[in-house]
A = this chain, B = another copy of it.
Protein backbone atom coordinates (compact mmCIF):
# COMPACT_ATOMS: atom_id res chain seq x y z
CA UNK A 1 0.00 0.00 0.00
CA UNK A 2 2.92 2.26 0.78
CA UNK A 3 3.76 2.06 -2.91
CA UNK A 4 0.60 3.90 -4.00
CA UNK A 5 1.26 6.60 -1.41
CA UNK A 6 4.81 6.80 -2.71
CA UNK A 7 5.60 10.15 -4.37
CA UNK A 8 7.42 8.64 -7.33
CA UNK A 9 4.54 6.32 -8.02
CA UNK A 10 2.00 9.14 -7.96
CA UNK A 11 4.23 11.25 -10.16
CA UNK A 12 4.50 8.45 -12.72
CA UNK A 13 0.81 7.50 -12.46
CA UNK A 14 -1.00 10.69 -11.60
CA UNK A 15 -4.39 10.17 -9.86
CA UNK A 16 -5.85 12.76 -12.23
CA UNK A 17 -5.48 10.57 -15.30
CA UNK A 18 -7.75 7.76 -16.44
CA UNK A 19 -6.85 4.09 -15.86
CA UNK A 20 -8.27 0.66 -16.41
CA UNK A 21 -8.33 -1.74 -13.46
CA UNK A 22 -8.87 -5.50 -13.75
CA UNK A 23 -11.37 -6.66 -11.13
CA UNK A 24 -12.28 -10.36 -10.80
CA UNK A 25 -14.35 -9.66 -7.71
CA UNK A 26 -11.87 -11.57 -5.55
CA UNK A 27 -10.19 -10.19 -2.49
CA UNK A 28 -7.00 -8.83 -4.08
CA UNK A 29 -8.64 -6.84 -6.87
CA UNK A 30 -11.39 -5.54 -4.58
CA UNK A 31 -8.71 -4.32 -2.16
CA UNK A 32 -6.72 -2.67 -4.96
CA UNK A 33 -9.81 -0.92 -6.29
CA UNK A 34 -10.77 0.39 -2.84
CA UNK A 35 -7.25 1.55 -2.16
CA UNK A 36 -6.92 3.42 -5.45
CA UNK A 37 -10.26 5.17 -4.85
CA UNK A 38 -9.09 6.04 -1.34
CA UNK A 39 -5.90 7.54 -2.79
CA UNK A 40 -7.87 9.80 -5.11
CA UNK A 41 -7.85 7.78 -8.33
CA UNK A 42 -11.32 8.73 -9.51
CA UNK A 43 -11.26 8.10 -13.25
CA UNK A 44 -11.05 4.33 -13.14
CA UNK A 45 -12.70 1.92 -15.54
CA UNK A 46 -13.34 -1.49 -14.02
CA UNK A 47 -12.64 -4.37 -16.45
CA UNK A 48 -14.21 -7.72 -15.75
CA UNK A 49 -14.11 -10.75 -18.00
CA UNK A 50 -16.64 -13.46 -17.22
CA UNK A 51 -14.70 -16.67 -17.86
CA UNK A 52 -17.91 -18.77 -17.84
CA UNK A 53 -16.13 -21.51 -15.96
CA UNK A 54 -18.64 -21.91 -13.15
CA UNK A 55 -21.89 -20.84 -14.87
CA UNK A 56 -24.15 -19.29 -12.19
CA UNK A 57 -21.33 -18.39 -9.82
CA UNK A 58 -19.47 -16.67 -12.69
CA UNK A 59 -22.52 -14.58 -13.48
CA UNK A 60 -22.85 -13.69 -9.80
CA UNK A 61 -19.20 -12.52 -9.80
CA UNK A 62 -19.98 -10.29 -12.78
CA UNK A 63 -23.03 -8.82 -11.05
CA UNK A 64 -20.99 -8.22 -7.89
CA UNK A 65 -18.34 -6.31 -9.88
CA UNK A 66 -21.07 -4.34 -11.66
CA UNK A 67 -22.55 -3.23 -8.34
CA UNK A 68 -19.10 -2.37 -7.03
CA UNK A 69 -18.42 -0.04 -9.98
CA UNK A 70 -21.85 1.52 -9.42
CA UNK A 71 -21.14 2.06 -5.74
CA UNK A 72 -17.89 3.87 -6.53
CA UNK A 73 -19.47 5.75 -9.47
CA UNK A 74 -16.79 4.65 -11.91
CA UNK A 75 -16.72 3.22 -15.42
CA UNK A 76 -17.31 -0.43 -16.18
CA UNK A 77 -16.48 -2.82 -19.03
CA UNK A 78 -17.82 -6.34 -18.80
CA UNK A 79 -17.50 -9.08 -21.36
CA UNK A 80 -17.84 -12.85 -21.52
CA UNK A 81 -15.53 -15.44 -23.01
CA UNK A 82 -15.93 -19.18 -23.23
CA UNK A 83 -12.49 -19.92 -21.80
CA UNK A 84 -13.00 -23.66 -21.75
CA UNK A 85 -13.81 -23.70 -25.49
CA UNK A 86 -10.79 -21.48 -26.24
CA UNK A 87 -8.55 -23.83 -24.25
CA UNK A 88 -9.78 -26.87 -26.18
CA UNK A 89 -9.57 -25.14 -29.54
CA UNK A 90 -6.08 -23.70 -28.99
CA UNK A 91 -4.79 -26.71 -27.04
CA UNK A 92 -3.96 -24.55 -24.03
CA UNK A 93 -4.42 -25.06 -20.30
CA UNK A 94 -7.47 -23.35 -18.80
CA UNK A 95 -5.10 -21.02 -16.95
CA UNK A 96 -3.24 -19.96 -20.09
CA UNK A 97 -6.43 -19.65 -22.15
CA UNK A 98 -7.97 -17.50 -19.40
CA UNK A 99 -4.92 -15.22 -19.27
CA UNK A 100 -4.85 -14.82 -23.06
CA UNK A 101 -8.59 -14.04 -23.15
CA UNK A 102 -8.21 -11.47 -20.36
CA UNK A 103 -5.37 -9.63 -22.09
CA UNK A 104 -7.27 -9.62 -25.38
CA UNK A 105 -10.22 -8.13 -23.51
CA UNK A 106 -8.03 -5.52 -21.77
CA UNK A 107 -6.56 -4.52 -25.15
CA UNK A 108 -10.02 -4.12 -26.68
CA UNK A 109 -11.19 -1.93 -23.77
CA UNK A 110 -7.96 0.09 -24.00
CA UNK A 111 -8.55 0.68 -27.71
CA UNK A 112 -12.19 1.67 -27.20
CA UNK A 113 -11.56 3.98 -24.24
CA UNK A 114 -8.19 5.32 -25.50
CA UNK A 115 -6.82 4.46 -22.06
CA UNK A 116 -3.79 2.20 -22.25
CA UNK A 117 -2.67 1.81 -18.62
CA UNK A 118 -4.18 -0.97 -16.56
CA UNK A 119 -3.80 -1.77 -12.86
CA UNK A 120 -3.55 -5.44 -11.89
CA UNK A 121 -3.72 -6.75 -8.32
CA UNK A 122 -0.79 -9.21 -8.39
CA UNK A 123 1.02 -9.22 -5.05
CA UNK A 124 4.23 -10.55 -3.51
CA UNK A 125 2.84 -14.04 -2.81
CA UNK A 126 1.90 -14.33 -6.49
CA UNK A 127 5.54 -13.57 -7.34
CA UNK A 128 6.76 -16.33 -5.02
CA UNK A 129 4.27 -18.90 -6.28
CA UNK A 130 5.04 -18.12 -9.92
CA UNK A 131 8.77 -18.37 -9.24
CA UNK A 132 8.39 -21.83 -7.73
CA UNK A 133 5.99 -23.03 -10.43
CA UNK A 134 8.43 -21.97 -13.14
CA UNK A 135 11.39 -23.39 -11.26
CA UNK A 136 9.76 -26.79 -10.79
CA UNK A 137 8.46 -26.84 -14.35
CA UNK A 138 11.90 -26.07 -15.72
CA UNK A 139 11.43 -22.72 -17.44
CA UNK A 140 15.05 -21.70 -16.99
CA UNK A 141 16.12 -18.26 -15.77
CA UNK A 142 13.80 -16.30 -18.00
CA UNK A 143 10.97 -18.11 -16.29
CA UNK A 144 12.38 -17.14 -12.90
CA UNK A 145 12.19 -13.42 -13.60
CA UNK A 146 9.38 -11.91 -11.56
CA UNK A 147 6.54 -9.89 -13.03
CA UNK A 148 7.49 -6.24 -13.05
CA UNK A 149 5.75 -3.43 -11.23
CA UNK A 150 5.50 -1.58 -14.51
CA UNK A 151 5.76 -3.35 -17.84
CA UNK A 152 4.68 -2.86 -21.40
CA UNK A 153 3.02 -5.28 -23.72
CA UNK A 154 1.92 -4.82 -27.32
CA UNK A 155 -1.31 -6.67 -28.05
CA UNK A 156 -3.68 -6.43 -31.03
CA UNK A 157 -2.13 -3.14 -32.05
CA UNK A 158 -2.43 -1.60 -28.56
CA UNK A 159 0.52 -0.70 -26.34
CA UNK A 160 -0.69 -1.69 -22.89
CA UNK A 161 1.13 -0.40 -19.81
CA UNK A 162 0.60 -2.93 -17.05
CA UNK A 163 0.95 -1.57 -13.51
CA UNK A 164 1.01 -3.77 -10.41
CA UNK A 165 1.03 -1.51 -7.34
CA UNK A 166 0.67 -4.46 -4.91
CA UNK A 167 3.72 -6.35 -6.16
CA UNK A 168 5.66 -5.63 -2.97
CA UNK A 169 2.71 -6.37 -0.64
CA UNK A 170 2.05 -9.71 1.01
CA UNK A 171 -1.27 -11.49 1.01
CA UNK A 172 -1.63 -11.07 4.76
CA UNK A 173 -1.12 -7.30 4.49
CA UNK A 174 -3.93 -7.20 1.94
CA UNK A 175 -6.04 -9.40 4.25
CA UNK A 176 -5.47 -6.95 7.03
CA UNK A 177 -6.51 -4.03 4.82
CA UNK A 178 -9.64 -5.87 3.67
CA UNK A 179 -10.67 -6.64 7.25
CA UNK A 180 -9.88 -3.13 8.49
CA UNK A 181 -12.12 -1.63 5.79
CA UNK A 182 -14.72 -4.41 6.03
CA UNK A 183 -14.56 -4.90 2.28
CA UNK A 184 -16.87 -7.49 0.74
CA UNK A 185 -15.55 -9.71 -2.01
CA UNK A 186 -16.43 -12.90 -3.85
CA UNK A 187 -14.70 -15.76 -2.04
CA UNK A 188 -14.37 -17.99 -5.09
CA UNK A 189 -13.53 -15.39 -7.66
CA UNK A 190 -9.90 -15.08 -6.64
CA UNK A 191 -9.29 -18.81 -6.83
CA UNK A 192 -11.40 -19.44 -9.88
CA UNK A 193 -8.55 -19.70 -12.31
CA UNK A 194 -6.17 -21.34 -9.91
CA UNK A 195 -4.40 -24.19 -11.71
CA UNK A 196 -3.91 -27.36 -9.67
CA UNK A 197 -0.15 -26.81 -9.53
CA UNK A 198 -0.48 -23.24 -8.20
CA UNK A 199 -3.05 -24.46 -5.71
CA UNK A 200 -0.69 -27.13 -4.40
CA UNK A 201 2.24 -24.69 -4.25
CA UNK A 202 0.16 -22.12 -2.36
CA UNK A 203 -1.64 -24.36 0.08
CA UNK A 204 0.78 -27.22 0.60
CA UNK A 205 4.33 -26.67 -0.67
CA UNK A 206 5.09 -23.19 0.68
CA UNK A 207 3.62 -23.88 4.15
CA UNK A 208 5.57 -27.16 4.25
CA UNK A 209 8.85 -25.47 3.26
CA UNK A 210 8.48 -22.74 5.85
CA UNK A 211 7.84 -25.33 8.54
CA UNK A 212 10.58 -27.76 7.46
CA UNK A 213 13.18 -25.02 7.13
CA UNK A 214 12.03 -22.92 10.06
CA UNK A 215 12.41 -19.67 8.18
CA UNK A 216 10.44 -17.20 6.09
CA UNK A 217 11.51 -18.38 2.64
CA UNK A 218 8.99 -16.20 0.83
CA UNK A 219 10.99 -13.02 1.29
CA UNK A 220 14.10 -14.74 -0.09
CA UNK A 221 12.28 -16.16 -3.12
CA UNK A 222 10.59 -12.85 -3.82
CA UNK A 223 14.01 -11.19 -3.94
CA UNK A 224 15.45 -13.84 -6.22
CA UNK A 225 12.56 -13.22 -8.61
CA UNK A 226 12.99 -9.45 -8.51
CA UNK A 227 16.75 -9.69 -9.08
CA UNK A 228 16.21 -12.11 -11.96
CA UNK A 229 13.71 -9.72 -13.50
CA UNK A 230 16.13 -6.79 -13.30
CA UNK A 231 18.89 -8.91 -14.84
CA UNK A 232 16.51 -10.01 -17.54
CA UNK A 233 15.49 -6.43 -18.28
CA UNK A 234 19.15 -5.50 -18.64
CA UNK A 235 20.10 -8.54 -20.72
CA UNK A 236 17.24 -7.69 -23.08
CA UNK A 237 18.88 -4.33 -23.75
CA UNK A 238 22.05 -6.17 -24.81
CA UNK A 239 20.37 -8.34 -27.42
CA UNK A 240 20.53 -7.58 -31.16
CA UNK A 241 17.58 -5.28 -31.77
CA UNK A 242 15.77 -6.58 -34.77
CA UNK A 243 14.41 -10.07 -34.86
CA UNK A 244 13.82 -11.48 -38.33
CA UNK A 245 11.39 -14.22 -39.22
CA UNK A 246 14.42 -16.45 -39.80
CA UNK A 247 17.38 -17.03 -37.51
CA UNK A 248 20.87 -17.11 -38.97
CA UNK A 249 22.88 -19.88 -37.27
CA UNK A 250 26.13 -18.18 -38.30
CA UNK A 251 25.19 -14.91 -36.55
CA UNK A 252 23.76 -16.71 -33.53
CA UNK A 253 26.94 -18.74 -33.01
CA UNK A 254 28.77 -15.47 -32.42
CA UNK A 255 26.71 -14.70 -29.30
CA UNK A 256 27.50 -15.98 -25.78
CA UNK A 257 25.34 -18.94 -24.74
CA UNK A 258 23.30 -16.81 -22.33
CA UNK A 259 22.32 -14.43 -25.14
CA UNK A 260 21.64 -17.23 -27.62
CA UNK A 261 19.00 -18.56 -25.22
CA UNK A 262 17.32 -15.18 -24.75
CA UNK A 263 17.40 -14.48 -28.45
CA UNK A 264 15.81 -17.83 -29.30
CA UNK A 265 13.11 -17.23 -26.71
CA UNK A 266 12.40 -13.75 -28.08
CA UNK A 267 12.37 -15.07 -31.62
CA UNK A 268 9.87 -17.79 -30.69
CA UNK A 269 7.68 -15.16 -29.02
CA UNK A 270 7.65 -12.91 -32.07
CA UNK A 271 6.55 -15.99 -34.05
CA UNK A 272 3.69 -16.39 -31.55
CA UNK A 273 5.23 -19.41 -29.89
CA UNK A 274 5.07 -18.80 -26.16
CA UNK A 275 5.04 -20.99 -23.11
CA UNK A 276 7.89 -23.15 -24.35
CA UNK A 277 10.20 -24.75 -21.82
CA UNK A 278 13.94 -24.89 -21.56
CA UNK A 279 13.96 -28.13 -23.59
CA UNK A 280 12.67 -26.47 -26.73
CA UNK A 281 15.14 -23.58 -26.42
CA UNK A 282 18.02 -26.02 -25.99
CA UNK A 283 16.88 -28.10 -28.94
CA UNK A 284 16.71 -25.02 -31.14
CA UNK A 285 20.14 -24.00 -29.84
CA UNK A 286 21.46 -27.41 -30.92
CA UNK A 287 20.37 -26.58 -34.49
CA UNK A 288 22.92 -23.74 -34.51
CA UNK A 289 25.68 -26.34 -34.63
CA UNK A 290 26.22 -27.00 -38.33
CA UNK A 291 27.50 -30.47 -37.49
CA UNK A 292 24.21 -31.35 -35.80
CA UNK A 293 22.38 -34.21 -37.51
CA UNK A 294 18.99 -33.03 -36.30
CA UNK A 295 17.26 -30.39 -38.43
CA UNK A 296 13.81 -30.25 -36.83
CA UNK A 297 12.40 -29.39 -33.39
CA UNK A 298 8.77 -30.01 -32.47
CA UNK A 299 6.72 -27.15 -31.04
CA UNK A 300 3.26 -27.07 -29.45
CA UNK A 301 0.21 -26.93 -31.73
CA UNK A 302 1.82 -29.03 -34.48
CA UNK A 303 4.36 -26.42 -35.48
CA UNK A 304 8.07 -27.04 -36.03
CA UNK A 305 11.39 -25.26 -36.08
CA UNK A 306 13.46 -26.35 -39.07
CA UNK A 307 16.98 -25.73 -40.32
CA UNK A 308 17.47 -25.73 -44.04
CA UNK A 309 19.92 -23.91 -46.35
CA UNK A 310 21.70 -22.23 -43.41
CA UNK A 311 18.48 -20.71 -42.09
CA UNK A 312 16.36 -21.59 -39.09
CA UNK A 313 12.63 -20.97 -39.50
CA UNK A 314 9.20 -22.04 -38.29
CA UNK A 315 6.64 -23.91 -40.34
Contacts and interface: CB of A to CB of B under 8 A. Distances in A.
Interface of A: 135-141, 144, 197, 200, 204-205, 208-209, 212-213, 215, 217, 219-221, 223-224, 227-228, 230-231, 233-235, 237-238, 256-259, 261, 278
B223 A140 contact: yes
Main DSSP-derived SS at the A contact region: helix
B220 A234 contact: no
22 contacts: A135-B135, A135-B217, A135-B220, A138-B219, A138-B220, A138-B223, A138-B224, A140-B224, A141-B231, A144-B144, A144-B224, A144-B228, A200-B212, A205-B209, A205-B213, A208-B212, A223-B278, A227-B261, A230-B257, A230-B258, A230-B261, A234-B259
Contacts of A223: 138, 140, 278
A231 B212 contact: no
Given A231-B258, A257-B230, A135 B212 contact: no
What copy number does this chain have within its complex? Answer: 2
B135 A221 contact: yes
A137 B258 CA distance: 25
B205 A212 contact: yes
A212 B220 contact: no
A229 B238 CA distance: 18
Nearest to A228: B141
Contacts of A144: 144, 224, 228
A209 B136 contact: yes
Contacts of A137: 220
Contacts of A237: 256
A197 to B, nearest CB: 7
A139 B220 CA distance: 8
A259 B215 CA distance: 29
Nearest to A261: B227
Contacts of A228: 141, 144
A141 B136 CA distance: 16
